[in-house]
Amino acid sequence: MQSTLAVCYEELGFENIPFSITPDTALFFPGGQHVGAYNQLHHACMNGTLAVLSGEIGLGKTLIVRCVIRSLPAQVRVAYLFNPLLEFSDLLREIHSEFGGQLPGRQDSLAVLHKDLVKIVLEGASRGERFVVIVDEAHRLNSEALEVLRLLSNLETERVKLISLVLVGQPELVTTLNLRAMRPLRERIGIWLQLTPLNREECAAYVRHRVARTHRDGNFHFTSTALWWLQRKTRGVPRRINLACERAVLLAYTRQMRSVNWDLAKMACKEFSKVWR
């Protein structure tokens, strides 16, 4: 049985869900800072650069990273890690597993794991392959794990870096990297990116983009006052915008309306007011 929300979207003319909070790469917003971050991270992955992407919760960091991963050519092998709470030895095993195709035994020492990884990367480089390590939620990494990643990113030939490292996390990541003990890693960072909330124009373009990409005939819209209110109450955070818009669309459906006006936007945002303080 279809969910109430799925029926709502279908009857309003939507072919796909426009405001899901999951990182749907098909709905990537091709505007402003998101495109800039995408382009720079793609460059980092292709050129052995160490890059950092930071931003508050819900600004779209993971979506950007997944779009980058999907766009990389076949000869680029990616280790995408999203459980940084692992011990540094387990973190190295995960990278080994992604690059080598199998998870090494726990009896292997850190030195053996590192040696095997170097061998895998060097052999791959001889075939024209590139290697990328992307760590999501990197603000949770401890200093030992960061040091292991730094040493791994040192791997290079006379001409090129063999492993690109991308660290993605909340602002606490930048705080950690600015510590004196992190200087060896910090000085290797070639790209620093920080996402900020969407302004009024960007918020309007973001909502309209998602409707345009998912609606069958474009016969559904958000009024300018609704968009203004959404940006004000969500403070331009895409995840909040999605939650509020999803609720507003459902309210429009219950009223048999083909648009979201200021009243509906206000009611939708009010339901989240206690959470968004």
- DSSP state at residue 140: G
pLDDT averaged over every residue in the chain:
89
Is pLDDT at 2 greater than 60 in this prediction?
A: no
Residue 157: what pLDDT?
Answer: 61
Residue 150: what pLDDT?
Answer: 86
Domains of the chain by start residue, with CATH = 32-194 (3.40.50.300), 199-270 (1.10.8)
**For residue 242, what is the enclosing H or E element?**
helix 238-254
Residue 107: what pLDDT?
Answer: 61
Q: Which two tokens stand for residue 247?
A: 């609720």
- As a whole number of angstroms, the distance between CA 72 and CA 63 comes to 15
Residue 1: what pLDDT?
Answer: 37
List pLDDT tens digits, range 114-165. 888 888 888 998 898 999 999 999 999 888 888 888 888 887 665 678 899 9
- As a whole number of angstroms, the distance between CA 32 and CA 55 comes to 15
Contact 179, 60 (CB under 8 A): no
Is pLDDT at 103 greater than 90 in this prediction?
A: no
Residue of 267 and 101 predicted with greater confidence: 267
% of the chain with per-residue pLDDT over 90: 62
Distances (CA, A) of 153 to 42, 71, 147, 171, 232: 17, 22, 10, 22, 42
List pLDDT tens digits, range 67-92. 999 999 999 999 999 877 667 778 88
Confidence (pTM) = 0.91
- As a whole number of angstroms, the distance between CA 6 and CA 79 comes to 34
Q: Which two tokens stand for residue 138?
A: 């990197």
